[in-house]
Amino acid sequence: MIYSRLLVDLASQTLTAHDAHGRVLKSYPVSTAANGPGERRGSFCTPRGRHRIRAAIGAGLPADAVFVGRRPTGEHYSEALAAEAPGRDWILARILWLCGTQPRYNRFGEVDSMRRYIYLHGCPDSVPLGRPGSHGCIRMRNADLIELFDRLQAGCEVVVLENAAAPLSADEMVIRALPWRLATDAAAVREQVFIREMGVPAEVERDAADATALHLVAWDRFGRAVGCARLLPDGWVGRMAVVSDWRGRGVGARLLTTALELASGQGWPLLRLNAQADVCGFYARYGFVPDGEPFMAAGILHQRMRRSLVDNSAIGEA
């Protein structure tokens, strides 16, 4: 069996291994952070979201091999050795070093999983699994970790979830504002919605304004990009898109209110947008009013709209 994707559920304290088709192959007990979920450096929490395995360390070593600083010390774990170093956080057998793939959520700056040295690693048999207890890493039984280590596909994805069984909701969504060079997920959503679904020519959908815009990306609990929008420095919001299976579930509302908050924070007096004519009612609920006559763009009827940001005390709800 080859493991293509690993899913760590903090609520159940389990790791499930999946094949390339998403089928569950095996489940393992784990122990994640005693401090719970969190991405900040120094929090001693387990980071959520999408990750890749940056390095797989320890192939061929015995199950009781001891690591410090990702290097084997030459020691072999035993109760006698543990008695000599009480309180030591034992890292045994193998190390799978995680690298976040979601900019400003679990990658870069103060929320970088790799620079926080977040691993899947082995631990003494005396360490209880099935409940939180680590300093941020994901602990596994040594035999389980070695089995997993030997079955990993190159580039295996690791997704860490707070509660995999809970119903999906827009309320738990993560939204981040990114420059274009980091907004690959926004580009993917726009290609799916505007180019493939709506037939907008790629040369029209992508333009020079992307380079100077601030791009909002909405990720669901599984780290999948489900919506996006962009804010232009001249006071326009646009390129708002939501993937088909998330429409009508509050994603657009979260994106728009985030855009309004960012624009207000910049001190902008006005925010403008070009709405597709059939969704003007949505924007009207957030204080946008028509500005001029309807017009055609990319073969679709649009209406220019604007909203004053001088008093944003009442932002509507979808």
Give the residue numbers marked as catalytic. 121, 137
**Could you give the CA distance from residue 118 to residue 95 in angstroms, rounded to a whole number?**
10
| 3-class DSSP assignment, residue 195 | helix
The alpha carbon dihedral of 165, 167, 171, 175 has a sign of positive
* 37, 45 contact by CB (below 8 A): yes
| 3-class DSSP assignment, residue 96 | strand
Token pair 């997993």 is found at 148
242 φ/ψ angles, rounded to the nearest 5 degrees: -130, 135
CA 91 to chain centre: 26
Tokens for 286, please give them: 């957030």
Beta strands in the chain (DSSP E): 3-9, 14-18, 24-29, 49-57, 65-68, 71-76, 91-100, 119-123, 138-141, 152-161, 174-178, 214-219, 225-232, 236-242, 270-276, 289-290, 295-297, 300-308
